[in-house]
Amino acid sequence: MQKKSIFVQLKWSIFPLALLSFLLHAVVQAQPPAQFVKVIVAADHTDWTYKTGEPVNFKVTVLKDGNPLKNIRIKYEVGPEKMEPVKKDSLLQPTGVFSIPAVTLKNAGFLQCIVIANLDGKEYRGIGAAGFEPSSIQPTVANPTDFLQFWDNAKAELAKIPLDARMTILPDRCTENVNVYQVNIQNYKSGARLYGILCIPKKEGKYPALLRVPGAGIRSYKGDIATAEKGIITLEIGIHGIPVNLDESVYANLGAGALNNYPAFNLDNKDRYYYKRVYLGCIRANDFLFSLPQFDGVNLAVTGGSQGGALSIVTAALDTRVKCLGAFYPALCDVTGYLHGRAGGWPHLFNKDNIAFNNSKEKIETCGYYDVVNFARQLKVPGMYSWGYNDETCPPTSMFAAYNVITAPKTLWLALETGHWTYPEQDAKMIAWLIDKLKPAGEK
């Protein structure tokens, strides 16, 4: 989850622009740069949270050089996230500081306010959201009666496949204290491989391990050397069965071609859906970690953001060897929300752009076996979760639908104004929490 100085406004239907896909791993975590004109939108409760039926006023401040921008032309819209707005208008604002009149929701969910200011022909956008009893949001996705049996059978199939692990040291990536390798292991189904970057402390000893699972897209990976420097084995994996140290043009071409729209591949068949190999690949990565002589054999965590947040929950639910998880803004949560008049999770399979193609009995049924909600129900280990109310890629409604069914120990850190990105403080707190959980009992 490396930081970059680049930010891209993410507006996906099923898949991001292929040209940008190889950047997404860094982008979704990067704080957006400051704008020349800042449009600040905030709900009038300090916690941005309301009871159903309670009115919310959105406070808006348009700033230039730190001062309110007078006589600025703005337009706004307010409505349930990802749905048609219930209120919108365009007007000239004399002071640059104003309030958008009260609106509310009758049911648990989120209202979103988008404000666009126009200065010298350029538009500047701000967003704010209000949560209405988010802890009461319940999932819409079906929970198949044979969900556990389906995945038990899949894991049994995987266990029969030899690991066939291959490690290639990357001398230019190694440090004084850490050896870095590209790993290549046999994944689910004969012939499919799983690639990743492994970082192992050089000092002789036994170490805990952290599996890093990726956000959506196709890209290279560098590995988590920084955490390995702290005395933790790290494995950062890709999910597409291709080496993770190729030229970036390879990934861009795959994103535009063979792997374009991969989250919808074989959605009409639960046994052939793209994410079956992906989910099982995360377990296979853990198989590899447990094979390492340097691993302490006990302390294993998994973490990631977006698609990686989803994979963190899935992996911890499917693999009892995982001791804890950390998830930022998980994707693939309650994807059927759109079929029930509210926002669903990325990859937005049933939104207005995709419902005509995906609204079939077979595809809806498949979703039940892969939706993060149904894995969240199975969690038994502690988890830390973090997201914001302004996420337009993974709507908070969908994430709360998954979070609310978790019965295992859980901690949610809300960074309210964040969208599909994190502040450095969130990352620091997450890794500190994971490291603490990974410490052997005698070292705490």
Active site residues: 306, 391, 420
Please give, one letter per residue, the 3-state secondary structure of 353-387.
CCHHHHCCHHHHHHHHHHCHHHHHCCCCCCEEEEE
Closest CA to 280 of 157, 165, 364: 157
Pairing state between β 410-414 and 383-387 = parallel
Query: CA–CA separation, 258 vs 399, rounded Å?
Result: 29
Query: CA–CA separation, 332 vs 306, rounded Å?
Result: 8
Closest CA to 88 of 68, 58, 110: 58
The DSSP secondary-structure symbol of 200 reads E
Do you know the residue count of the chain? 444
DSSP E strand boundaries for 12-66: 37-43, 49-50, 56-64
In angstroms, the Cα distances linking 49 to 44, 53, 132, 138, 327 are 9, 12, 6, 17, 22
Closest CA to 419 of 442, 387, 444: 387
Query: CA–CA separation, 185 vs 440, rounded Å?
Result: 28
Direct distance between the N- and C-terminal alpha carbons of the chain, in angstroms, rounded to an integer: 26
